[in-house]
Structures are given as C-alpha cells and as structure tokens.
Amino acid sequence: MFRGIMGAMQDNRRAAFTVVAVLAAIAAVTAFFTVWGVPSSRAPVTFLEYRTGGFGMCEDFGEYQVHVDKLEVVRGDSCRFSPYTTTEVSQGDMDRFLKALDQSGFRRWHSHYSDITIIDGGGFYLTVKFADGKTQTVNTLNRNPPRIQAFRDALAILHIPR
C-alpha cells in the first residue's frame, strides 16, 4: 500500500512538473508576442506613410509618404512646407532605408501604443503597405513602440524628420 501511495505521488509530481513546464512555455511565448507582436508581413515594403502630431508647436506636425517603386518621398501639407512637395531618392538610399527599416523591428509592432497619464504630448501614425497586399498600421500617443530610435534612424536616411 505504501508503494502504491508513493507511486501515485511520483505520478502526481510528474504531472505537476509537466503542467508547470507547459504553463511556463505558454507564458514565455505570450510575453514575447506581447512585447514584439506577430510579424505583419514578410513581404517587401512598397509604401510607407508617416504622420506626426502633437499638442503645441508647428514643428510637431508632418506628413511623409515613401513610394518605394517610384524612388520618391512626398512631403505633405503642414505649417512648415508648401503642400505636397516630392523629392527623388537614389536607389542606394532607398535600399539603405529599407534595410534599416527592417532592422528596426517595425513589423512586430502592435497597432496602438499610448500612455493616458500624459496630458500634453504627441505621437505618430504609420501605415505600411507590403507587396503581398497586406497593410500594417501603428498609432501612438505619448508612448513609443520598441526600438523606436532604430526606426527614426531609418527615416533619417531619407531626410524625414523625427
């Protein structure tokens, strides 16, 4: 009888260990995707629109479109620029931009980041279109996604202000 009880206890320990291991694995995967999200698409980027906004100065606002196939950046209407000016981009700069953009991890960003405890701030709105027809949108308000500096460094290659 004692052996039967000990055997049952060992079986329960194995079962408990298995449950704990499975739960730990689920927690790790969930934590990873909570921070990084699921990749929006692995296809090449064909179009990017980046709009900035905030509460305050004219410098807080801007709208930029990157047309990859046309090798151009279109600057939208804001209080700093005349409506819709187009700048041609070299193939080399576009390739460097796309490589830096991918390295920023933007494909794993969530669709929304915010911090409601900040009353006066700003953010950006990002739309990315991919060759497979998928679209990714990201909207921020007073909170940035992970690796935002790497994303901003990619934008700087095409002379897009942060």
pTM value is 0.71
User: Residue 17 has what pLDDT?
Assistant: 54
Q: Is the predicted pLDDT of residue 114 greater than 90, yes or no?
A: yes
- Residue-wise pLDDT for 117-155, tens only, equals 988 788 999 999 999 999 999 999 999 999 999 999 999
pLDDT band per the 50, 70, 90 thresholds, residue 16: low
Report the distance separating Cα 33 and Cα 50, nearest Å. 24
pLDDT band per the 50, 70, 90 thresholds, residue 76: confident
